[in-house]
Amino acid sequence: MATLLIHHAAGDQHLEVTEGQSVRDVLDTTDLRVRAACGGTGTCGACVIKLIGGEVSAPTVAEYMKLTPDERAAGTRLACQLRLKGDAEILLDQPAPPSHWKSIPPENLVASSGSLPDLAENIYGVAVDLGTTHVRVALWDRKHGKRIATRRGPNPQGAFGADVLNRLDAARTSPARAAELAKLARTAIVQAVRDILARDVGEVTPMLAEIGQVLIVGNTAMLALLTEHGGAALLAPAHWQQAIDCRPPDAAAWQAQWYMPHADIVLPDPVAGFIGSDLVADLVATQLTAGPAGAMLIDVGTNTEIALWDGQHLHVTSVPGGPAFEGVGIRHGMPAEPGAICRVHCAGAGFVCETIGGSTARGICGSGLADAVAVLLAKGTLKPSGRFAISPGPDGFALDPGNPKSAITGIDVDAFQRAKAATAAAMAQLLLQANMHWNDLCRLCVCGAFGHTLDIANAQAVGLLPPLDPALIELFADASLCGCEQVLLAAQGEDVFAMLTAKAKAINLSLVSGYEESYIDHLRLRPIVMNGK
């Protein structure tokens, strides 16, 4: 790893980055983007920065062509050509305009070997994970199996509330609001695609016409809000164990709203109730059903979905985990992006907070919240009930006394407890439904909000994850998007969703005796009890 020090108008920022990355790729995952219009080839010459010093790559042919000798002598470089070999320091005085869209870190993605070599036209495709809190998008050359670029940004429907039920109710009570919610999600996806085309391809409108398919996965509520169909059924508990039809009533008119004239907009059917197609995409990415019985997957987020493979069937369910796992609804919460506290360690009488990218802490993401609760519990600052041993006051308990953005409040702890209790109780109930026990698990895939930053030991200490051998627990950052990408590149890709959905047995936990008692039992901050066979 190397440290990149960036001087810019708002101050200085330190980032911990992987050696060999280009400065442009590093900055594109943050709020500090350079201007660009060529996808990192150096042909546009727009991403100029000033190198102050450090261990970096030598100027490239593209830089000799785009920069004058005087500019090169003054330290001017192209960010897309400048690669880090060690610590470096730069000045960014010509940033791109601020944008909600950021590149997804490459370590969060998996390589896909698929391609569609027989495609003759409209060879580009878009994979979309439409989440409650965030939208993730990837643009692909389907013919050659090449990922062009990715983006992640906030779901603008959050203006109607972090809770999906609030959004569904708003859509149900007002056709105008339903149309607005649909337009917000659709526009966000299109904007993400346009951002990729503008910065990574260099053409927008002509390339929109070259897109042949847009494949969208998401939880059922997001799909219903996108198409303005299925929300009423989803609000009726009687339908929670049934498949929800989220297809737009007039597909042709709906597709015409996407500004992609040759694109087939595909929405694989959700499984049932609040169990969406994003869970099926997770199953594709993790290959959960390809292995032995006793494999479980949890997609942690505002709507947490869980699947258990018993060797023949998938037992699936969902619970309203709440937005705390995604850094929403807590005092200083933020997504898992640079500046977010993602890990917390005890250090003598105090604590050490690690942030994504190594920059100054701007808030706390889901994994940081889990760590904070665990270390405060270990120190005795928090009781197993979730109450502070000594009230920290209205500003909360600052993990770093010099940074108020590191503070944890009692309300934050309560939100975490409710989310983790719902998740743990749901896992326990799926095992009971399958006549299995915790000790029968041979694999646990954790997908969603925590990405790769979750500390497994801390998650086990507070009862979020069962105390399995850590070697059996796998962390996946963007599994839903990765699964969507794999299907986008497969012939008859929709059949993959259909085959997995056919194996699923949906369980509505509100109808399961004992779930509420299990939820209450899991509220306390303590490890899950592993009952034997």
Q: Check: CB of residue 335 under 8 Å from CB of residue 133.
A: yes
CA distance 139 to 39: 12
Q: Domain 106-266: what homologous superfamily?
A: Domain of unknown function (DUF4445) (3.30.420.480)
Domain with CATH 3.10.20.30 in the chain: 2-91
Predicted pLDDT of residue 359: 79
What is the C-alpha R_g of the chain? 23
Smallest CA-to-CA distance from 475 within 319, 286, 277, 279 is with 286
The CATH 3.30.420.480 portion of the chain extends over: 106-266
Q: How far is CA 39 from CA 123, 214, 244, 339, in A?
A: 18, 21, 40, 26
Strand pairing partners for 350? 347
Q: Which residue has the tokens 């391809």?
A: 201
Q: For position 324, what pLDDT does the model report?
A: 82
All residues at 6 or more sequence positions from 267 whose CB lies less than 8 Å from its CB, including other chains: 216, 217, 223, 226, 227, 246, 247, 277
Distance between CA 326 and CA 465 in Å, rounded? 17
pTM equals 0.92
Q: Which of 40, 37, 25 is nearest to 195 (CA)?
A: 37
Distance CA 327, CA 451 (A): 13
As a whole number of angstroms, the distance between CA 84 and CA 5 comes to: 12
Q: Measure CA of the first residue to CA of the last residue in the chain; give whole Å.
A: 45
**Spatial contact of 148 and 201, defined as CB atoms under 8 Å apart:** yes
DSSP, collapsed to helix, strand or coil, labels residue 216 as strand
Do 129 and 481 contact (CB within 8 A), yes or no? Answer: yes
**Residue 409: DSSP 8-state:** -
513: part of which helix (H) or strand (E)?
A: none
Q: Amino acid identity of 457?
A: A
Task: Give the pLDDT of residue 434.
Answer: 95
Q: Is 270 exposed, middle or buried (0-12, 13-18, 19+ CB in 10 A)?
A: buried
Residues 26 and 15: beta-carbon distance below 8 Å: yes
Note down pLDDT in tens along the chain; length 533 residues.
899 999 998 888 888 888 999 999 999 988 889 999 998 999 999 999 999 999 999 999 999 999 999 999 999 999 999 999 999 999 999 999 989 999 998 888 888 889 999 999 999 999 999 999 899 999 999 999 999 999 999 999 988 887 888 899 999 999 999 999 999 999 999 999 999 999 999 999 999 999 999 999 999 999 999 999 999 999 888 888 888 999 999 999 999 999 999 999 999 999 999 999 999 999 999 999 999 999 999 999 888 999 999 999 999 999 987 778 888 788 999 988 888 999 999 998 899 999 987 878 999 999 999 999 999 999 999 999 999 999 999 999 999 999 999 999 999 999 999 999 999 999 999 999 999 999 999 999 999 878 788 999 999 999 999 999 999 999 999 999 999 999 999 988 889 999 999 999 999 998 898 999 999 999 999 999 987 44
CA distance 84 to 175: 52
Task: Tell me the CATH number for domain 282-322+418-521.
Answer: 3.30.420
Tell me how long the chain is.
533
CB 418 within 8 A of CB 523: yes
pLDDT at 397: 96
Its sign, for the CA torsion 166, 170, 171, 172, is: positive
pLDDT at position 328, please? 79
For residue 149, the SS3 value is strand
Show the CA angle centred on residue 27, arms to residues 24 and 30, nearest 5°: 155
Domain 2-91 has CATH 3.30.310.10: no
